Structure 1
């Protein structure tokens, strides 16, 4: 069964929200181990930056693999 465009959008948004939350919680837990002490606001901002970078990375890789797929399809 094929996923609808709406459900693809819902999945993508959920993935970004969950990723952002995981990034922030991980920073809060891990940074002090390395002697880095940040405020909640700083963690939220860094989490947002990491999320934007992750979205850009995911998009670039998806486009790269699509280009590879198109080149490898026999004509």
Structure 2
């Protein structure tokens, strides 16, 4: 089943909102380890900037993979099955393949 653009956006937004909370908490804990001291407000703004970038990235990747998924089955479909060995594109009167 194909995922609609709207559901791709809903999934991306949900993923990014959860990620935003994790990012801000991680920044709050990790920044001091590297000598970076940001206020809570600064951490929230930094998190929002990265969240916006992440939202766009997530949506574009989802759409690219959805387009790839929709196109892939037609290109990957076998054209014929060999009655002896179940491999594709082998004429029925050819000898069975040898595996060494």
Cα offset, 1:73, TM superposition: 2.4
Q: CA RMSD in A?
A: 2.5
Larger radius of gyration between Structure 1 and Structure 2? 2
Equivalenced residue count is: 69
Structure with the larger helix share: 1
Contiguous gaps of at least 5 residues in structure 2: 1-5, 76-100
**What's the TM-score once normalised by structure 2's chain length?**
0.57
Contiguous gaps of at least 5 residues in structure 1: none
Q: Give the 4+ runs in structure 1 shifted more than 2 A.
A: 11-18
**What's the TM-score once normalised by structure 1's chain length?**
0.73
Counterpart of 1:63 in structure 2 is 63
